Amino acid sequence: MTGKLDQISGEVKEKAGEVLDDSKLKAEGVVQQGVGKTKEVAADAKEKAENFAGEAKEKAAHFAGEAKEKAENFASEAKEKAAHFAGEAKEKVENFAGEAKEKAAHLAGEAKEKVAHLAEEAKEKAESLINDIKSKF
């Protein structure tokens, strides 16, 4: 039986018990009304719980979708920034390497000039020593 039907049947029994002066029938009617009301309240609570669960499920799905979208956006931005920083780092390394190559070439040129100058000085001193030795003999 449904809750309403139990309540109506309970009322009929209660009234019949009053009319017939049957306290047992009257008590059964009151109890049956209580059972009917309990069934009605339970059905209402079940419906509200199902509605709440459905709404909660929808909200959870919505929040999960938003979280997924935000995570994907964050990952995409992080990837873009990492690529940008990697590009900047590569450019700086290439610039540094170019500058280092230029400085090395410049220093090598200076060293070559100094070696040539020292060699010339050594040659001149050697010739001078040879001439001194020749003049003494």
Q: One-letter amino acid identity for 3?
A: G
Helix (H) or strand (E) holding 137: none
d(CA 55, CA 48): 10
CA atoms within 13 A of residue 56's CA, in its CB half-sphere:
6
pLDDT value at position 2?
85
Torsion angle of C-alpha atoms 77, 78, 83, 89, degrees rounded to 10 = 130
pLDDT 10s digit of each residue in the chain, 137 long? 688 999 999 999 999 999 999 999 999 999 999 999 999 999 999 999 999 999 999 999 999 999 999 999 999 999 999 999 999 999 999 999 999 999 999 999 999 999 999 999 999 999 999 998 988 87
pLDDT at 136: 83
Contact 13, 35 (CB under 8 A): no
